[in-house]
Amino acid sequence: MKGLSAPSGSKWAPLGVAAVVFAGLTGGCAQPNESASAPVSGAMIIEKQGAFAVGGRVAGDAAASLHCDHGVVEYQIPANARAVNLLMWHSASAVAWQARWDGGEGFQSIFLRRGFPVYLWDGPRVGRANWGCAETTYVPGLARDQQNFVAWRFGTEYPNWFEGVQFPKDDPWAWNQAMRARYQEFDTIENAQLESDAAAVLADQIGPTVALTNSAGGLRALLTAMKSDKIVGIVAYDYPTAQIADRAGIDLVSVGDSVGANLWGQPTEAEVTIDELLLACKAVRRGARRPLVSCDVPNGPVSAGNEAAVSAALRLAKEGGADMVKVLGDPELVKGIVRAGVPVFAEFHGENLPVEKLVDEAKRLQDAGASLLDFRHSGPVAGPAVARAVSIPVIGGLGGGPWLDGRVRLAHTAIGYAAKWIDAKTETYANTAKLTLDAFRALIEDVRSGRQIKGG
């Protein structure tokens, strides 16, 4: 099932960890040596352990076949294990979780001692799962060691170390292990989708799981979460609402260009500029730490052509902190934004179009590189047909329903926060507008009656 669930009661909750922490603390294969940290006292009781392949596909036919593009997971389950699994996911090497580079105990053992079942993940075409369905090429590159030094924030130039870095810089063993703790990485949107496809199968097999990620493993884990449960999204424009959404466990906060009409009183969405959208995008990003944040590419840059739209998408990602950007379904524009390195949430509409055309449109957007689809006015016939036809999640805003992989709803509508909903019959989960009206009337009465009011 394709979906994204919140940590509370979910099957899958991605938890990102800053690369600088792991670069300084983990990696390598523990071996007896003089510089290794003192062994941790006390034995661990492992009730069950092993490894297996998961996901993937079979290319060819019965006469000439190839099992490929699967992931490989190694697991250990301690006695009296906790109910929630930990899946440790590095974008390059699962070895990074097994021991510190100086030989000390790694996160795998640390969390096993705390009772967590631990799964170490190698995604398709990576490490132990390198049996791919497509040809891959490894090109050795001199100076990769020195590039690692800079990328891992050890210093600005090798061998000039930052002061206070946690890496044991005077330990030749640790440096040797760190430089050998790498796999070939395939850092593309296509590969991220490939890895998350396999990991979603794993998540459905092993039950409630928190993904502990490092480096580019974070994006892949978020995509996996989208494929393992129903996605719940809201459209919001401000910091307080984003904070509440984060706390509630909302999976996706979409910052729409509808901010102009719904929050600023503009007559149409077309009037919202990229600079105005960035203000809202930044505010939501500050409040939403766990959910994915998507920000619309506004009408102005889109109308100016694909080059301007791609430039706006990059600004929303780099300046606004957006995890992905949303555009109305244009496969060429989607392709351009994805090539620039920004994931895309693509919207398309289903009014008065035959199912076959809608399925084709969804496939075209997926093939262009979209990571998520918003199928407006889907309906109970076209909706399931489209959701079955593509491997990426299909959610619905206006006109969505349970036949899709999730639902996104305007926060103002969900909580009844607008003057038009004071007396409306729209299905809401609160009538915030009516509560606000009553509160303002009470304020007016208190002030005019001379009552002392505490607070700002």
Per-residue model confidence as pLDDT tens digits over 193-210: 888 888 888 887 887 788
Mind listing the pLDDT tens digit for each residue in 103-120?
Answer: 888 999 999 999 999 999
> In the structure, what pLDDT confidence band is assigned to residue 39 with cuts at 50, 70 and 90?
very low
Is residue 456 domain-resident? no
Q: Both 70 and 96 in a single domain?
A: yes
Vertex 127: Cα angle to 126 and 132 (nearest 5): 45
pLDDT of residue 47: 94
Are residue 166 and residue 273 in the same domain, yes or no? no
Same domain, yes or no, for 297 and 437? no
Question: In whole angstroms, how far apart are CA 77 and each of 71, 208, 357?
Answer: 19, 14, 48
**Boundary (domain end) residue, out of 188, 205, 222:** 205
Domain count of the fold of the chain: 3
CA 179 – CA 356 distance, rounded (Å):
52
pTM of structure? 0.60
Is residue 317 assigned to a domain? Answer: yes
Check whether residue 234 and residue 329 sit in a common domain: yes
What is the predicted pLDDT for the residue at 401?
80
| pLDDT(237) > 50 | yes
Main-chain phi, psi angles of 165, to 5 degrees: -60, 140
Asked whether residue 71 is assigned to any structural domain, the reply reads yes
Q: Is residue 221 part of a domain?
A: no
Q: Are residues 247 and 302 in the same domain?
A: yes
Distances in Å between the Cα of 118 and the Cα atoms of 21, 96, 188, 200, 215 are: 20, 14, 27, 17, 19
Task: Give the helix ranges, DSSP H, for 152-206.
Answer: 172-180, 189-206
Check whether residue 120 and residue 249 sit in a common domain: no
CA–CA distance, 126 with 191 (Å, rounded to integer) = 10
183 and 56 belong to one structural domain: yes
Query: Are 216 and 187 a contacting pair, CB within 8 Å?
Result: yes
Pair (29, 146) in one structural domain: yes
What integer pLDDT is reported at residue 16 of this predicted model? 42
Do both 162 and 95 map to the same domain? yes
pLDDT at 227: 66
Q: Say if 216 falls within a structural domain.
A: no
Whether residue 431 lies inside any domain: the answer is yes
pLDDT of residue 24: 25
Average pLDDT value over all residues in the chain: 84
Between residues 11 and 428, the one the model is more confident about: 428
User: Does residue 210 lie in a domain region?
Assistant: no
The pLDDT confidence band at residue 3, using thresholds 50, 70 and 90, is: very low
* Residue 29: pLDDT over 60: no
Task: Identify whether the C-beta of residue 362 lies closer than 8 Å to the C-beta of residue 396.
Answer: no
Task: Evaluate whether 15 touches 227 at the Cβ level (below 8 Å).
Answer: no
Least confident of 48-52, 212-216, 223-227: 223-227
Residue 84 has a pLDDT of 84
What are 256-272's pLDDT values in tens digits? 999 999 889 898 888 99
∠ CA 180-182-188 to the nearest 5 degrees? 160
Domain of 116, in residue numbers: 12-197+199-205
Cα–Cα dist 194/339, whole Å: 17
What is the band of 41 on the pLDDT scale with cuts at 50, 70, 90? low
166, 42: one domain: yes
pLDDT at 55 exceeding the cut of 80: yes
Predicted confidence at residue 4, as pLDDT, reads 39
Is residue 454 assigned to a domain?
no
| Amino acid 93: pLDDT | 80
Residue range 49-75: mean pLDDT, rounded: 93
Read off the pLDDT of residues 411-453 as tens digits, 9 standing for 90 and up: 988 888 877 767 766 677 788 878 888 888 888 888 878 787 7
Do 302 and 400 fall within a single domain?
A: yes
CATH number at residue 277: 3.20.20.60
Residues 254 and 372 in one domain: yes
